[in-house]
């Protein structure tokens, strides 16, 4: 059948032929693919028209954006940044102290970490709205991962040194990812993964604060829900009513201001100042009531002065360097994903673009600098950045103002925090974390994509019932499994003709689409690789069997042609080529003709170089599905009908004779 059809195809006028692309040198192709992988944003475009000194200035502006926007800075911008900076400082100071306690580090480190890193980011960051500082999730991860090896209570000096070392490794990793243009690695943390992970981590952080709210001295070091609940309810007789009253009171105040902040700009300022207000009121209550003598724990002494150097405190030798390296890599990736996601969100609101790789370099630089100046891991927290955005910031100068406010606090105001109750810090953390449990996003995932919802819930449950690391690994593995399933089991669909048009669309999507008698049109919606070649061969065979069964059941003409729409097949490997050969042979044995429609340049090059193009026949490759169906119909209804009539005439003549 194939040879006869091929003979007739010479007489069929085809509107367009599908050419084989002109071969390109391997090095050109390799460099082009390399550029698309690592430089999709074409960062060198801005240097093409520049020469000499101007090119050096452009390079300096690329790595230090401050030199680009500083010359255009105005007094009106400064007024806005001054207000925003002071506002986020009022949030950064209590949050910094709170998160340092969450990481089992001295509270003063939270203030140190809100001084040096924001200054570095102001010079190197590309976001106008990101407010740099410590975050609860990274603090919890740090405490969880380091706490398994070193006890913060029994070996505080070693634990502190490991925290600095983990921050150093996190910074090196972040900067390396940016310099090597490997930012796409962070994309493996999908939106659903981040929603579930952040929600689970926020839940775990809130559970950990029950120690402060209830005034417990001993608490489990595990973070899972069951361990925390067991620790809480096994010590009911040790709950302190003073802590419970203070904690619930300040938590109610913070949540009330958060709710009111959504009703107008006036209430926004009340919400922004609420954490610092809580610290001041809590300190006054403890000071005048002497609550510390009744079991209410306070921060105690905070050292005056700016960040001391910590280069000599880095632990860069065995046996503890391994745990610092592992902690730094995990926390660095999480902090990177959170910071870039937050930065991109606010950039979208103001309609400007931030470069993910440049942000990685900036985050890495500020964390390396921080690790050398007694800081621990920092990134761009959502709550602080939201306050910065709503306060009307214009540039990264708001981070500089915040850092200067923290500097003044370190130099002169640290004694004022002596009587700050830990229960107030717990309330501040809980109020901030509740905003990270994005149930609306989870509900949206359920409505739009059930698999994404499963990824989200898997991450959430893994964090809440296992650990932060288990939840993260679970979510990433499920996401990768989903990608592998998409590759290994690509969708194939039967296409039909939309009446009164040359368009061919999925018949399950368009009920009015009509099948073509004697012709089966199949769409393949993915590249053909070793992972899916066998599946596609079997699936195509099943489509053919089902179509032939349907035709026999309806008493219609048999199947003659199988058209594969290759428009979505961007590439094919050697396993895919072998699959095409085998499919061609299988169809020939069943007296069916394989026809290809709309193959891309990469597919045509591979088919040509492997001689499969000769096997299929160039006459059976068409630009569109419509042209392929037209050619098949011409043969079916013109050529073969003529053959049948001739044969019938000969038989009649023989009978008459």
Give me the DSSP letters along 317-363: STTTHHHHHHHHHHHHHHHHHHHHHHHHHHHHHHT----HHHHHHHH
Report which secondary-structure segment, H or E, holds 134.
none
Calpha distance 254→594 (Å, rounded): 69
> Does the structure show a pLDDT above 70 at 65?
yes
pLDDT at 558 (0 to 100): 84
DSSP 14: -
pLDDT at 654 over 50: no
Instruction: Specify the range with the lowest mean pLDDT, choosing from 2-16, 82-96, 217-231.
Output: 2-16
In whole angstroms, how large is the CA radius of gyration of the chain?
33
Among 108-122, 147-161, 451-465, the range of highest mean pLDDT: 108-122
What is the token pair recorded at 61?
Answer: 């502006």
Query: Rounded CA gap, 586 and 542, in Å?
Result: 12
Nearest to 584 by CA among 604, 607, 601: 607
pLDDT at 257: 86
pLDDT recorded at residue 188: 67
**Mean predicted confidence (pLDDT) in 628-644:** 73
User: What is the mean predicted confidence (pLDDT) over 199-218?
Assistant: 85
Q: What is the mean pLDDT of residues 344-356?
A: 81
pLDDT tens for 437-490 read 888 888 999 998 888 888 888 888 988 888 877 887 877 787 788 778 888 888
The mean per-residue pLDDT over the stretch 322-344 comes to 89
Residue 552, number of CB atoms within 10 A of its CB: 11
Residue located via tokens 């919890």? 140
Kindly state the average pLDDT of the residues 346-362. Answer: 84
Cα separation, 387 vs 391, in Å, equals 6
Identify the three-state secondary structure at position 519: strand
C-alpha–C-alpha distance, residues 357 and 7, integer Å: 57
Tell me what pLDDT residue 108 has. 93
Q: How confident is the model at residue 642 (pLDDT cuts 50, 70, 90)?
A: low
Find out whether 132 and 340 touch, Cβ atoms under 8 Å. Answer: no
**Averaged pLDDT for residues 224-253:** 87
Q: What is the DSSP letter of 221?
A: S
CA-closest candidate to residue 173, choices 40, 350, 331, 364: 364
Mean pLDDT (the chain, rounded): 84
In angstroms, the CA 306 to CA 235 distance is 40
Helix (H, G, I), strand (E, B) or coil at 297: coil
Model confidence over 481-535: pLDDT tens digits? 877 888 888 889 999 999 988 889 998 889 888 888 889 999 998 899 898 999 9
Q: What is the separation of C-alpha 260 from the centre of its chain, rounded to a whole number of angstroms?
A: 31
| Model confidence at 205: pLDDT above 50 | yes
**Interatomic CA distance for residues 19 and 331, integer angstroms:** 51
Give me the pLDDT at residue 47, please.
65
Does 222 score more than 50 pLDDT?
yes
Using the Cα atoms of residue 57, residue 60, residue 66 and residue 69 in order, give the sign of their dihedral: positive
Give percent of the chain above pLDDT 90.
30
Instruction: With a cut of 50, say whether residue 648 has pLDDT above it.
Output: no
Residue 411 pLDDT greater than 80, yes or no: yes
**Does pLDDT of 651 surpass 70?**
no
- Higher-confidence position of 609 and 349: 609
**Strand order in 561-565's β-sheet?**
504-506, 492-497, 519-524, 561-565, 593-597, 621-622
pLDDT at residue number 602: 87
Nearest-angstrom CA–CA distance, 437 and 426:
17
Whether 47 and 59 have beta carbons less than 8 Å apart is answered as yes
Instruction: Tell which wins on pLDDT, 7 or 258.
Output: 258
Q: Is 640 helix (H, G, I), strand (E, B) or coil?
A: helix
Residue 505, H or E segment: strand 504-506
Q: What would the mean pLDDT of 174-180 be, rounded to a whole number?
A: 90
pLDDT of residue 5: 58
Q: Which pLDDT belongs to residue 48?
A: 67
Q: Phi and psi (nearest 5°) for 131?
A: -110, 115
Mean pLDDT, rounded, for 167-189: 85
For residue 496, the 8-state DSSP code is E
CA-CA distance, 379 to 179, in Å (whole number)? 18
Residue 493, token pair as written in the block: 């669909």
At residue 644 the predicted structure's pLDDT band, cuts being 50, 70 and 90, is: very low
438: nearest Cα among 347, 356, 345: 345
**Range among 222-236, 383-397, 567-581 with highest mean pLDDT value:** 567-581
Of the candidates 35, 20, 122, the residue with the CA atom closest to the CA atom of residue 81: 122
- Max avg pLDDT among 17-31, 44-58, 502-516: 502-516
Distance between alpha carbon 216 and the CA centroid of its chain, in Å?
38
In this structure, what are the phi and psi dihedrals at residue 21, rounded to the nearest 5 degrees? -60, 150
Output DSSP code: residue 20.
Answer: P
Global pTM? 0.77
pLDDT given for residue 458 in this prediction: 86
Give the pLDDT mean for 577-591: 91
Q: In this model, does residue 265 exceed pLDDT 60?
A: yes
Whether the Cβ atoms of residue 587 and residue 561 lie closer than 8 Å to each other: no
DSSP conformational letter for 307: P
């Amino acid at each position: 059948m194939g040879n006869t059809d091929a003979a007739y195809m010479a007489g069929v006028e085809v509107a367009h032929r599908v050419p084989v692309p002109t071969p390109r040198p391997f090095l050109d192709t390799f460099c082009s693919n390399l550029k698309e992988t690592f430089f999709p944003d074409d960062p060198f475009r801005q240097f093409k028209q520049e020469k000499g000194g101007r090119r050096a200035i452009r390079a300096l502006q690329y790595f230090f954006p401050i030199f680009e926007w500083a010359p255009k800075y105005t007094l009106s911008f400064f007024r806005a940044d001054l207000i925003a900076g002071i506002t986020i400082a009022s949030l950064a100071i209590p949050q910094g102290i709170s998160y340092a306690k969450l990481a089992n580090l001295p509270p003063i480190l939270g203030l140190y970490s809100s001084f040096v890193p924001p200054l570095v980011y102001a010079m190197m960051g590309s976001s106008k709205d990101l407010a740099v500082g410590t975050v609860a999730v990274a603090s919890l991860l740090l405490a969880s991962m380091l706490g398994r090896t070193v006890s913060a209570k029994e070996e505080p000096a070693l634990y502190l040194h490991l925290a600095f070392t983990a921050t150093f490794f996190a910074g090196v990793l972040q900067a390396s990812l940016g310099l090597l243009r490997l930012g796409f690695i962070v994309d493996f943390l999908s939106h659903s993964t981040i929603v579930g992970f952040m929600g689970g981590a926020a839940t775990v952080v809130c559970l950990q604060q029950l120690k402060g709210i209830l005034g417990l001295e001993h608490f489990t070091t595990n973070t899972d829900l069951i361990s925390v609940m067991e620790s809480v309810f096994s010590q009911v007789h040790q709950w302190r009513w003073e802590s419970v009253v203070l904690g619930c009171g300040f938590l109610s105040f913070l949540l009330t201001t958060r709710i009111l902040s959504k009703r107008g700009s006036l209430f926004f300022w009340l919400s922004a100042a609420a954490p610092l207000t809580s610290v001041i009121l809590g300190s006054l209550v403890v000071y005048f009531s002497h609550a510390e003598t009744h079991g209410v724990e306070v921060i105690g002494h905070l050292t005056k002065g700016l960040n001391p150097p910590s280069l000599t405190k880095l632990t860069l030798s065995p046996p503890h360097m391994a745990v610092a390296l592992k902690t730094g890599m995990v926390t660095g990736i999480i902090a990177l994903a959170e910071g870039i996601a937050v930065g991109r969100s606010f950039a979208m609101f103001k309609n400007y673009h931030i470069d993910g790789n440049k942000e990685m370099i900036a985050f890495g630089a500020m964390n390396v600098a921080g690790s050398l100046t007694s800081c621990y891991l920092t990134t761009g927290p959502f709550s602080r950045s939201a306050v910065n955005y709503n306060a009307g910031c214009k540039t990264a100068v708001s981070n500089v103002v915040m850092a200067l406010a923290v500097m003044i606090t370190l130099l002169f105001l640290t004694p004022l925090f002596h009587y700050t109750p830990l229960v107030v810090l717990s309330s501040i953390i809980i109020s901030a974390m509740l905003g990270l449990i994005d149930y609306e996003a989870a509900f949206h995932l359920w409505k739009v994509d059930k698999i994404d919802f499963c990824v989200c819930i898997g991450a959430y449950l893994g964090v809440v019932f296992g650990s932060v690391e288990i939840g993260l690994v679970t979510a990433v593995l499920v996401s990768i499994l989903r990608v592998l399933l998409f590759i290994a089991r690509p969708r194939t669909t039967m296409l039909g003709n939309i009446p009164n048009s040359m368009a061919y669309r999925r018949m399950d999507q368009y009920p009015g689409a009509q099948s073509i008698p004697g012709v089966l049109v199949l769409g393949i919606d993915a590249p053909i690789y070793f992972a899916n070649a066998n599946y596609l061969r079997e699936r195509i065979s099943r489509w053919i069997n089902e179509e032939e069964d349907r035709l026999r059941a309806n008493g219609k003409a048999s199947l003659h042609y199988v058209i594969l729409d290759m428009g979505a097949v961007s590439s094919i490997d050697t396993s895919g080529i072998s699959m095409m050969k085998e499919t061609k042979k299988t169809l020939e044995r069943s007296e069916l003709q394989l026809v290809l429609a709309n193959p891309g340049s990469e597919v045509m090059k591979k088919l040509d170089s492997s001689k499969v193009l000769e096997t299929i026949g160039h006459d059976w490759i068409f630009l569109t599905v419509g042209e392929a169906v037209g050619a098949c119909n011409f043969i079916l209804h013109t050529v073969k009908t003529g053959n049948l009539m001739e044969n019938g005439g000969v038989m009649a003549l023989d009978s008459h004779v």
